[in-house]
């Protein structure tokens, strides 16, 4: 018998809200079965959730993560899926490196502006009261 999970079990395991799981279900990323009003998630749903959350940690949008997760095919080596993920990782890395460079330049500008302000203050004659 396949292991099944309740919404609460998955929410607790992955430290997400039940609302998050219902949102992923609405988007077609998770497909729990229902017994009356109780959701029952499969091991495949659990794996998809883990991959979606990993994509989020990598800075991928939900759409990007979804596209990659939905490419999974258990009957293949998933070469296309892996190549797509590698391309997204490289794209995200390039973005982060650019942001890092921008931040370093901004910090230099802030240091320079602060130094000029301090120089201006020290050059000012003392005001007498």
On whether the CB atoms of residues 59 and 92 are closer than 8 A, the answer is: yes
Q: What are phi and psi of 105, to 5 degrees?
A: -65, -40
> Token digits for 50?
């883990």
The structure tokens 């596209």 sit at: 67
Better-predicted residue by pLDDT, 128 or 65: 65
Residue 71: CB partners within 8 Å, gap ≥ 6? 78, 80, 81, 84
Structural domain boundaries in the chain: 1-61, 71-124
Q: What is the pLDDT of residue 61?
A: 92
**Global confidence as pTM:** 0.73
Three-state DSSP state, 84: helix
Query: In whole angstroms, how far apart are CA 124 and each of 32, 83, 87, 116, 117?
Result: 71, 62, 56, 12, 11
Q: What digits encode the pLDDT tens for the residues 31-73? A: 999 988 899 999 989 989 999 999 999 999 999 999 998 888 8
pLDDT above 70 (res 101): yes
Lowest mean pLDDT among 10-14, 51-55, 114-118, 123-127: 123-127
The architecture (CATH level 2) of 1-61 comes to: Orthogonal Bundle (1.10)
């Amino acid at each position: 018998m396949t292991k099944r999970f309740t919404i609460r079990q998955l929410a607790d395991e992955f430290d997400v809200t039940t609302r998050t799981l219902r949102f992923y279900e609405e988007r077609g990323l998770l497909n729990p079965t229902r017994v009356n009003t109780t959701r029952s998630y499969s091991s495949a749903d659990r794996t998809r959730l883990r991959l979606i959350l990993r994509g989020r940690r990598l800075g991928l949008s939900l759409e990007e993560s979804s596209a990659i997760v939905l490419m999974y095919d258990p009957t293949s080596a998933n070469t296309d899926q892996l190549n797509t993920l590698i391309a997204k990782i490289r794209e995200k890395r390039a973005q982060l490196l650019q942001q890092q460079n921008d931040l370093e330049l901004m910090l230099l500008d802030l240091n320079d502006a602060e130094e000029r302000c301090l120089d201006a203050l020290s050059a000012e004659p003392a005001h007498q009261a």
